[in-house]
Amino acid sequence: MTDDLTRMLWVYGPPGVGKTTVAWEIYAALATSGDDVGYVDIDQLGMCFPEPAGDPGRYRLAAENLGAVVAGYRAAGARAVVVSGVVDPARGAPVDLIPDVVVTMCRLRADADVLTGRLVARLGNHDTVPQALAEAEALDANNVGDLCVDTTGLPVDQVVRLVEERTAGWTDRAPSAAPGTAAEPRTGADATEGPILWLCGASGVGKSTVGFHLYLRHVLGRGIPGAFVDLDQIGFYRPASSDIRVDHGMRARILAALWRNFRAAGARCLTVVGPAESSAAISTYAQAMPAATVTACRLHAEPDELTRRIMLRGEGGSWAQPGDPLKGQPAVHLSSVAERAVADAALLDRAAVGDVRVDAGQRTVEEVAAAVIAETGWPTVRPAQGRPGGGDRRQGA
């Protein structure tokens, strides 16, 4: 590329159509080939209560947060980003909120009976089917985007191939018009105040499961305005030449920008989950958000329990998440991951990483959450009036 614009491929469609799976496969192939490309699931960027006034569905909030993630990736070296997630069926994608990008919109669709079967197979019930079918019908009627790929009756690999063929050249696409004039999202140190609880720990310890439970049950469930971020979901970019496992500097700058947007939308606390291998890593986030109060709570489990959980993850024994590095892996690989997780847990324990330590071993999710609350006093803000919302951790696949 000869300019500073970031090329973006946005794969979207109704729930159950396969957008997350397809987008991830396209990203993974490009990253493996050495391209400077990142990935983000926009559905992960709008988990916030209350719903902002004038933004039903949180489409604009998620787009603003997407702009912050893209800016963070760009600053780290990315020149292209693959995006998956929902788009407002009536208004389309608010790409004007994402500065310095050239966007290719690719809609996936499927017949109603196919969507129904996929959703029931994934969720085990028909509860979300009517809403998904209504969204699919609206997307078909409005036909928003640059192109459409019908996934009916096709396996994932064939859909991926069709999307790649139909979008060929998107990473070098020339702007068809002047790029949007939205202000570049700030991704430096931020003065936004508020309490932030960060659950960290070794791989497999349950930080995502416990953290999301805390957010749903003890924040939204109590009517407290709050937001949720999984650090792994804002970290899917790493230069091919880098051997750094986690770029905390990039993630911290992005998180600071997201927190500012969530606060502007009305959130008063933030639940964060993600890895931190040292006290220095935690300090990176505190420095990026100097006005916020960051409490790092490290979850711990003994070697046998960590190993059991990681082997279970390989069998799909957790919720689906974009880029899950364990699902479907062979036992020998999972064993290697478990060995490293056990070693990491021991190192974290010896270094006493985090403000508090909570045993997450032979306990239920609610028991661990209760222990976290007892140790940290979380959440530290009062409930607000109104009905909670924003707890939909949709994957859109």
Give 387's pLDDT tier (boundaries 50, 70, 90): very low
Average pLDDT over residues 196-218: 96
pLDDT score at 388? 42
Q: What tens digit of pLDDT does each residue of 40-49 get? A: 999 999 999 9
- Dist CA 171 CA 173 (whole Å): 6
pLDDT score at 198? 98
Task: List, in sequence order, every residue forming a beta bridge with 149; answer none if it has no partner.
Answer: 108
Of the candidates 43, 67, 78, the one whose C-alpha atom is nearest the C-alpha of residue 261 is: 67
Average pLDDT over residues 106-118: 94
pLDDT score at 188? 63
Give 183's pLDDT tier (boundaries 50, 70, 90): low
Of the candidates 149, 120, 148, the one whose C-alpha atom is nearest the C-alpha of residue 133 is: 120
- Dist CA 136 CA 2 (whole Å): 38
pLDDT score at 384? 65
What's the mean pLDDT when you consider all of the chain? 89
- Dist CA 199 CA 373 (whole Å): 12
Locate the DSSP E strands across 202-262: 226-230
pLDDT score at 330? 84
Total-model pTM: 0.90
CA dihedral 359, 360, 363, 364 (to 10 degrees): 140
pLDDT score at 244? 78
Q: What tens digit of pLDDT does each residue of 321-339 get? A: 666 777 777 888 888 989 9
Residue 168 carries which DSSP code?
T
Query: Residue 18: left if φ>0, alpha if ψ -120 to 50, beta else—which one?
Result: left
DSSP, collapsed to helix, strand or coil, labels residue 274 as: coil
Q: Of 38-47, 53-62, 339-348, where does mean pLDDT reach its minimum?
A: 53-62
Give 316's pLDDT tier (boundaries 50, 70, 90): low
Radius of gyration of the chain (CA): 20
Please determine, for residue 81, whether its predicted confidence score (pLDDT) is greater than 60: yes
Average pLDDT over residues 309-329: 73
Query: Residue 5: left if φ>0, alpha if ψ -120 to 50, beta else—which one?
Result: beta
Average pLDDT over residues 242-252: 88
Please determine, for residue 385, whether its predicted confidence score (pLDDT) is greater than 60: no
Please determine, for residue 22, whether its predicted confidence score (pLDDT) is greater than 70: yes
pLDDT score at 314? 76
Give 247's pLDDT tier (boundaries 50, 70, 90): very high
Q: Which is higher by pLDDT, 168 or 313?
A: 168
Q: What tens digit of pLDDT does each residue of 88-103 get? A: 888 888 888 999 999 9
Locate 180 and state its tokens: 């949007």
Average pLDDT over residues 4-26: 95
pLDDT score at 363? 94
pLDDT score at 114? 94
Please determine, for residue 317, whether its predicted confidence score (pLDDT) is greater than 90: no
- Dist CA 278 CA 200 (whole Å): 10
Give 319's pLDDT tier (boundaries 50, 70, 90): low
